[in-house]
Amino acid sequence: MKNLAEEARSILQEYVDKEHNGVRSRAANALGIANMTLKQWLDGTRVPNLENLSPAFERLGISFSKPAVQEVTRDVCWVNAKIMPAGEHVAPPVAEDYLAAPLVGEVGAGPGYLPQESVESWFLVYKHVPAIMGRRNLIAVEIGKTSTSMLPLLSPGDIVLVDRDDIDVSHAGHIMLVRDPEGAGMVKRVSVQPTPGGKDFSIQFYSDNAATNPPLLYSLREDYGGEISNAIVGRVIWAWSDVRGK
């Protein structure tokens, strides 16, 4: 059984071949999408999501419906964790001093971050750390196993803590959890600048390991519908890293 991306690719390819004699640029123009976007969808180098596909498919008289999602509530309780020897004679931790941040998926190697079908784990965060004080809407995500774009700062397998309430991009260079126009999650530095004429903004996602990861440049208006929240999930404020090999 085909998934959404495979079915969409099949429909689009048939449309290009039959209605436009294989001329992709004419098909893209008729569908109201960028030629490069259509090329990447058909090549399989970018995976379209339902939101991106809908406007194009409406022109073809095709509609998709999202499956119903059942709202799930989760109770998080404080457990008596094993105390390390160094803390055997110290008062145990106080639950009110910690926040439980859900580990929700993997980024940097393809689609992934909220929403997920299930929370993979939880990270207890000491809320009196200056970087975390006053923050409440936190998630943890894992850097993909093959993602090296943020080396040497972040390595594959590292866990980063993201504040979803902080999407301020007024200062260039902050490390953010971002989405490409197809919804794939990435951890990148961000720079947002007005375009000449002031009618749009260019969004640049760039990596610390720039030699093998060139910057990604997008249009806020054309690629994200003019909404910065469609591009920025939140700011990375903390990280857990395996330093044994560093």
Q: How far is CA 169 from CA 135, 185, 199, 226, 246, in A?
A: 17, 17, 18, 14, 31
b or e along 176-190 (b: 16 or more beta carbons within 10 Å of the residue's beta carbon)? bbbbbbbbbbbbbbb
Tell me which residues of the chain have a pLDDT lower than 70: 1-5, 47-52, 63-79, 108-118
Please tell me whether residue 192 adopts helix, strand or coil conformation.
strand
Rounded CA-CA distance 5/164 in Å is 28
Distance CA 147, CA 153 (A): 12
**pTM listed for this prediction:** 0.68
Q: How many residues does the chain have?
A: 246
